[in-house]
Chains A and B, each alone.
Chain A
Amino acid sequence: MLQKINEQIAVIARFFPSHKVFPVKIYWRNQEYRINRLAYYHQYHQGKTIQHIFHVTDGNLDFRLRLNSDDLSWTLEEVDDGNTD
């Protein structure tokens, strides 16, 4: 089931010298999720702000995370367990 969340969350991320970012852990509703795979990354411009979209998974759930380049906030946009609604 797909759930639209749109909540700001805490994220531990790894920043690489090659200007790459990888979210390692996310904290959402008092739970910690360890990210083990990045499925897709893309970005889009919203005016002067670049929104970085990370499609990641902890092995059980798929998360769509957004990193706002303007205020460096992380938003959990969607959670999907890959099942029918």
Chain B
Amino acid sequence: MEIPINRQKPLTMHIDLNSCFATVHQQAFIHLRGKPLVIAAYATPNGCILSPSIEAKKLGIKTGMRVKDAWQIDNQIIVRTPDTALVRDVHIKFKKIFSNYSPKIIPKSIDEAILDFKEMQGFLKKELPEIGQEIKNRMRKEIGEWISCSVGIGTNRFLAKTAASLKKPDGLEVINYQNLKDVYKKLKLVDLYGINSRFATRLNIAGITTPLQFFEAPLHVLKKQVFKSIVGYYWFLRLKGYEVDDYETERKSYGQEYSLGKKTNNINELSKILMKLCEKMGRRLRNSGNTAQGIHVGIMYSDYSFWHQGKLFSENMSSTQELFKAAKIIFQLQPQPKIVAKLAVSCYRLTSGNTSQLSLFNDRKNKINQISNALDQINDRFGEFTITPAIMMQMNDLVVDRIAFGNVKELNLDL
């Protein structure tokens, strides 16, 4: 099957804030500007680097490195921890700017968003590169002069993202049917979003070693030889500029995890952390109007071994008390209690709260749900963790606020 390159006008824009956490920190703290800075989960030698500044990236420091590794490259690297309120505020401000240009904005993560202009074709008064430049200027003017972003424009999300990554920082690139092949000529397979080293190896085995060869590969090779599924067909279309990633994903679970600063096997300490994770997860679950039937607990130990287990329960759960009780049951199933380095809990098998049945004979459960809702309202009004379960007393900020990589669906924005 032969399909030509998509020759339609590129109407998808991908915007990526450059070195988001670090840049935002440099915006707020003027004396950090122009210096190699890393934002790490912890400002300790073993802390994981979440975001190196543009200056640090030039020294070869990358996301995921340990702080001590960065210090080995340059002992003058400045280390700071994330200011989550600050980053969320910038995200909200940049989304507000985007909403002036397109009704269809898809936030991909805290620092990335897609603006879809397809439905506005015919109404657009400016060309997309002009709009991209205007957004860049407005971000500098309305958010902060240190804030820069890369803008990519393409006929589909994949090409728009690829275009945004062509020139960093502060780029504005367009990929269309005229320059598509030239762009592929300059890239490596792993530069393509969605192609990791494993996929690259699979492609290599099929004799595909460059993005251009990938682009020119026949459908049957991709579908039957490389990916051995419909995924091959999607890549066949995606590389030619057709949209295949424009679908809504449904949320199937809510989860929280925490890497312990101080690793422990103390059951009381771990119970407190588990409770706080259940409270945070429960708040998100209840806010979504769902209940959950399944609970999953995952534990990474200090010796890097991993244990996890999930279990379905007979009743739908939504209150923190119920979630914690279920998580504790699973937690106690560990075959061999060891020193815990990371604790994760998630709930699944979600049901919409409106459709879950009220218990006819179990009035206690109905009361617990009502109490839970009342506590949520109090915490909404007076601040998170104003009222907490007694087990969480003296916890302070044992589980610190974090911004997840990826999905930001629950970041409620008043635009």
Contact = CB atoms under 8 A, between A and B. Distances in A.
Of the candidates B27, B31, B379, the one having the most CB atoms from chain A within 10 angstroms of its own CB is B31
Nearest to B80: A2
Contacts of A42: 85-86, 89
B32 interface: yes
Nearest to A83: B78
A62 B43 contact: no
Interface string B369-385: 00000000001111110
A52 to B, nearest CB: 11
Given A84-B76, A84-B77, A84-B78, A47 B381 contact: yes
Interface stretch (A5-13, A14-22, A26-34, A53-61): A53-61
B55 to A, nearest CB: 12
A4 B88 CA distance: 21
Interface in A38-57: 39-40, 42-49, 53, 55, 57
A82 B29 contact: yes
Contacts of B75: 84
Interface in A64-85: 64, 80-85
Contacts, number: 64
Contacts of A80: 29, 31-32
Contact of A47 (B29, B32, B386): B386
Most buried by B among A2, A83, A84: A84
Interface size class of chain B, counting residues whose CB lies under 8 Å from the partner chain:
20 to 34
A84 B28 contact: no
Nearest to B380: A47
B30 interface: yes
**What size tier do the contact residues of chain A reach?**
20 to 34
B31 A44 contact: no
A66 B382 CA distance: 18
A37 to B, nearest CB: 7
Contacts of B79: 84-85
Interface string B57-85: 00000000000000000011111100001
Nearest to A56: B30
A85 B43 contact: yes
Contacts of A61: 31
Nearest to A84: B78
A84 B30 CA distance: 14
B144 interface: yes
A18 to B, nearest CB: 15
A26 B201 CA distance: 60
A62 B28 CA distance: 8
A40 B405 CA distance: 24
A55 B380 CA distance: 26
Given A39-B144, A40-B144, A46-B383, A82 B86 contact: no
Interface in B104-155: 144
Of the candidates A39, A43, A49, A62, the one having the most CB atoms from chain B within 10 angstroms of its own CB is A39
Contact of A57 (B30, B35, B86, B382): B30
A55 B32 CA distance: 13
Contact of B31 (A40, A53, A57): A57
B31 A49 contact: no
Nearest to B36: A84
Contacts of B383: 45-47, 49
Contacts of A48: 381-382
19 contacts: A39-B29, A39-B144, A42-B85, A44-B88, A47-B379, A47-B381, A47-B382, A48-B381, A55-B29, A62-B32, A80-B31, A80-B32, A82-B30, A82-B32, A83-B78, A84-B77, A84-B78, A84-B79, A85-B43
Given A49-B383, A62-B30, A83-B78, 12 more contacts: A39-B29, A39-B30, A40-B86, A45-B383, A47-B380, A47-B382, A48-B381, A55-B27, A55-B29, A80-B29, A80-B32, A82-B35
Interface of A: 2, 37, 39-40, 42-49, 53, 55, 57, 61-62, 64, 80-85
Q: Which 7 A-B residue pairings sit nearest by Cβ, starting from the closest?
A: A82-B31, A47-B382, A47-B383, A42-B89, A55-B28, A46-B383, A40-B28
